[in-house]
Amino acid sequence: MELLNVTIDHAGYSGKKADVIKDVTLSVKSGELVGLIGPNGAGKSTTIKGILGLLPVMVGKVEIAGKNKNCAYIPEQPVLYDGLTLWEHLELAAAAYEMDREVFVPKAEELLKLFRLTEVKHHLPGTFSKGMQQKVMLILGFLLEPAVYVVDEPFMGLDPRGTKDFLALLDQARAQGAGVLMCTHILDTAEKICSAFILMNAGTVLTRGTLLEIREQCQLPEGSLFDCFDQLVESTS
């Protein structure tokens, strides 16, 4: 079942940046982890903003299916309120999504324990390290149990154990039917964990498919994701 369907004719910002991305189509199925891959300036972040409805200029359509039709966004840079404790951030998110308290409290406690933040749940996240702040964003995303997770550079700032816990949660969410769109620069990790890829450059999609399909397209049967991406960029430049 396709949970996320995106068709963007063109999108961007005001003025000369009105067409940062164009002819972008992508989909994420139930249980899939799709890697959105490309260099800086390829249009990945703009594509994510388009999916979230945050662009001033966009001609296209975004459809989210699934039982709750919700999308959780986990950004690269943590977005936190200076005056709220960690627990108050979780309570605010639960209230926004109308979670019953008997569901919210045990779920929140479970995630805090997993990411080893229980002892600081009544502290202000502004005092946390970057890695701890990133864990707060992960907890907020997994608290909601959406149909689709949109994750931007999740490994930045996470220690190895935090990365392992994050990937385990993603596997659990996918096993329960969620879909994941992950933007990352870490190609060797993406190659190991993603079930499919969308390769972007210069504001458009170069190709999409599994690693095997992309290798076949590039005629690189043993090629890495980086090798394939490099060849595709060279052939279109």
Output 55 or 237, whichever has higher pLDDT. 55
Residue 131 and residue 63 share a domain: no
Whether residue 49 is contained in a domain is answered as: yes
Residue 82 and residue 65 share a domain: no
- Quote the domain boundaries for residue 84: 78-145
Could you give the 3-state DSSP secondary structure of residue 190? helix
Closest of 135, 105, 107, 106 to residue 120, by C-alpha:
135
**From start to end of 30-147, where are the E strands?**
33-37, 57-64, 71-74
Residue 10 and residue 59 share a domain: yes
Residue 151 and residue 140 share a domain: no
The string over 124-153, giving b where at least 16 C-beta atoms fall within 10 Å of a residue's C-beta and e elsewhere, is: bbeebeeebbbbbbbbbbbbbbbbbbbbbb
pLDDT, tens digit (0-9, with 9 covering 90-100), for 154-208: 887 788 998 899 999 999 999 999 999 999 888 888 999 999 999 999 999 999 9
Residue 50 and residue 110 share a domain: no
Of the candidates 97, 121, 145, which is a domain's last residue?
A: 145
The pLDDT of residue 67: 66
Lowest-pLDDT range of 52-56, 80-84, 93-97, 183-187: 183-187
Of the candidates 121, 145, 169, which is a domain's last residue?
A: 145
The pLDDT of residue 155: 84
The pLDDT of residue 237: 67
Residue 84 and residue 30 share a domain: no
Number of domains, the chain: 2
Q: Measured between alpha carbons, how far is 60 from 174 in angstroms, rounded to an integer?
A: 27
Q: Residue 22 pLDDT more than 70? A: yes
Whether residue 167 is contained in a domain is answered as: no
Q: Residue 114 pLDDT more than 90? A: yes
Q: Residue 18 pLDDT more than 80? A: no
Whether residue 197 is contained in a domain is answered as: yes
Output 237 or 41, whichever has higher pLDDT. 41
Q: What is the pTM of this model?
A: 0.91
Residue 139 and residue 22 share a domain: no
The string over 19-34, giving b where at least 16 C-beta atoms fall within 10 Å of a residue's C-beta and e elsewhere, is: ebbbebebbbbbbbbb
pLDDT, tens digit (0-9, with 9 covering 90-100), for 53-77: 999 999 999 999 866 678 999 998 8
Residue 60 and residue 102 share a domain: no
